[in-house]
């Protein structure tokens, strides 16, 4: 009977999906589910749905809810993290301030100015969670869903002894898209993917032992298909490999697509045009936040059922608990040189086998030089961001943004300096003290 703790369980839809995933396995159906959030209203909504799943299915699982993080972590076997630190105000600052300087982010939560500053406001709370885990459940595995994935995971394994893996659904979602474009069943697509989070690459993709890349290149020539995924098709055309993040998100990882109006117009396509000129993700995020704050739980609890989603967490826990071998793409430290031509201390997204003995990153060897170069630039940005947060080093935060590809394509060095200072000032209540010295700790006003 594993004890599985959810930190940030007020993310009701996501948390209850993951609870349903866990309960869908007979071997996990007696788990002890602990839900923790600082927002009592959202936490109560998640608890009601989770308990309805257990009751309606007649399962032996127990559901507990608390606003006390230490209580939730006591003797946990697995900790699922999905926190959002700071809420709407800093998120809007991270989008609107760079926008003033011409940096048009699509989502701004994992890379660029938005990603770096979201990392700054998230790392202190993550270190506090990890410190509690070191004391209360030192053998627990931390399964992180919070973005910026690479920055958050790297900070945890650099500054603590907690074992952490990062989970992201971009690889299976990309496999689904490729299968559609080449007209093969997704379950029959065999692939080998490696890189960094949101910028990993389908190094091979095969059906019945044959590469689907020729069919994918033919799909590029079909206008209707091309318009579904313009940026990723262009990246494949110019660099040879299909990347793992959707076109609108991928566009902010590189300097080619978001700085010129004519390019934006030329590249407009499904799921890309709506994100290109303005940060519409921000408005959508606020709408979803308002819905989550609704005082009424718009769910018929008698109809709640256990269903299994595509997320990795429950499958990973099931593999570890039952010694069932499975392969995932997870975000892990590159300490054993899973990717030989990325830094040893980078957070990489690689194939990982999991069984009763733990998680085992696979050796990928070297990435092709052309895509390794794209990834390496971001690993440097993330390294500086983490060091800046942990050391309180303001200059390293400046350097991280000056090395970001989209920011560098949009601004002069002096403009980036001014933008960074403005972001620091606007988000002072949410980020560590950046005057140097010591491990980053959250200011008293921080809201986790």
Q: Which residues partner with 216 through β-bridges? A: none
Residue 155 near residue 123 (C-beta atoms within 8 A)? yes
How far is the CA of 418 from the CAs of 77, 425, 436, in angstroms?
45, 11, 19
d(CA 175, CA 173): 5
Element (H, E) at 288: helix 280-292
Which among 177, 243, 213, 191 has a CA at the least distance from the CA of 375?
243
**What's the CA gap between 395 and 388, in Å, rounded?**
7
Please report how the helices 12-23 and 313-322 are oriented relative to each other, as an axis angle in degrees rounded to 10.
30
For 444, residues 6+ apart whose C-beta sits below 8 A from its C-beta are none
CB-based burial, 22-58: b 16+ in 10 Å, e otherwise:
bbbbeebbebbbbbbbebeebbbbbbbbbbbbbeeee
Q: Which positions are catalytic? A: 169
What is d(CA 23, CA 6) in angstroms, rounded to the nearest whole number? 14
Return the SS3 of 331.
Answer: strand
CB 354 within 8 A of CB 39: no
Task: Note whether 395 and 420 are within 8 A (CB).
Answer: no
Q: What does 66-110 look like in DSSP terms, one character per residue?
A: ES-HHHHHTT-SEEEE----S-HHHHHHHHHHHHHTT---SS-SS
The single residue listed with the structure tokens 């996501």 is 14
Strands 199-207 and 210-211: antiparallel
Residue 397 is encoded by which pair of tokens?
């935060």
Tokens of 301: 């609890």
Dihedral over alpha carbons 344, 346, 347, 352 (to 10 degrees): -20
Structure tokens at 200: 């990993």
Three-class secondary structure of residue 241 per DSSP: coil
Residue partners of 236: CB distance under 8 A and separation at least 6: 216, 217, 220, 242, 243
């Amino acid at each position: 009977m594993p004890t599985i703790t959810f930190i940030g369980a007020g993310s009701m839809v996501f948390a209850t999906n993951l609870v349903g995933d866990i309960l869908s396995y007979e071997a996990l159906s007696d788990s002890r589910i602990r839900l923790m959030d600082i927002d009592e209203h959202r936490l109560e909504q998640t608890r009601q749905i989770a308990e309805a799943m257990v009751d309606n299915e007649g399962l032996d699982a127990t559901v507990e809810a608390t606003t006390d993080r230490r209580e939730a972590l006591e003797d946990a076997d697995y900790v699922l993290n999905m926190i959002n630190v700071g809420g709407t105000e800093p998120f809007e600052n991270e989008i609107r301030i760079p926008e003033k300087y011409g940096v048009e982010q699509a989502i701004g939560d994992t890379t660029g100015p938005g990603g770096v500053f979201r990392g700054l406001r998230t790392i202190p709370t993550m270190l506090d969670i990890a410190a509690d885990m070191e004391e209360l459940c030192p053998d627990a595995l931390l399964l992180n869903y919070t973005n910026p994935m690479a920055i958050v995971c790297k900070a945890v394994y650099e500054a603590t002894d907690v074992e952490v893996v990062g989970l992201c659904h971009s690889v299976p979602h990309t496999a689904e898209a490729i299968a559609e474009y080449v007209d093969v069943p997704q379950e029959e697509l065999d692939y080998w993917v490696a890189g960094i989070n949101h910028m990993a690459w389908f190094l091979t993709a095969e059906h019945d032992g044959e590469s689907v890349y020729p069919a994918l290149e033919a799909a590029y020539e079909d206008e209707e298909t091309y318009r579904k995924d313009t940026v990723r098709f262009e990246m494949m055309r110019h660099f040879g490999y299909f990347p793992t993040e959707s076109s609108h998100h991928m566009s902010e990882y590189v300097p080619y697509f978001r700085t010129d109006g004519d390019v934006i117009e030329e590249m407009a396509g499904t799921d890309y045009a709506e994100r290109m000129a303005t940060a519409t993700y921000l408005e959508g995020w606020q709408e979803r936040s308002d819905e989550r704050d609704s005082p009424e739980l718009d769910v018929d609890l008698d109809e709640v059922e256990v269903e299994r989603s595509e997320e990795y967490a429950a499958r990973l826990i099931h593999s570890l608990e039952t010694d069932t071998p499975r392969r995932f793409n997870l975000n892990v430290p590159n300490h054993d040189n899973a990717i030989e031509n990325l830094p040893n201390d980078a957070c990489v997204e690689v194939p990982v086998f999991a069984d009763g003995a733990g998680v085992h990153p696979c050796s990928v060897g070297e990435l092709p030089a052309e895509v390794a170069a794209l990834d390496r630039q971001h690993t440097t940005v993330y390294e500086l961001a983490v060091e800046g947060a942990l050391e309180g080093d303001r200059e390293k935060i400046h350097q991280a943004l000056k090395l970001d590809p989209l920011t560098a394509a949009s601004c002069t060095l002096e403009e980036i300096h001014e933008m960074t200072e403005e972001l620091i000032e606007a988000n002072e209540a949410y980020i560590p003290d950046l005057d140097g010295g010591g491990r980053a700790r959250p200011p008293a006003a921080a809201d986790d």
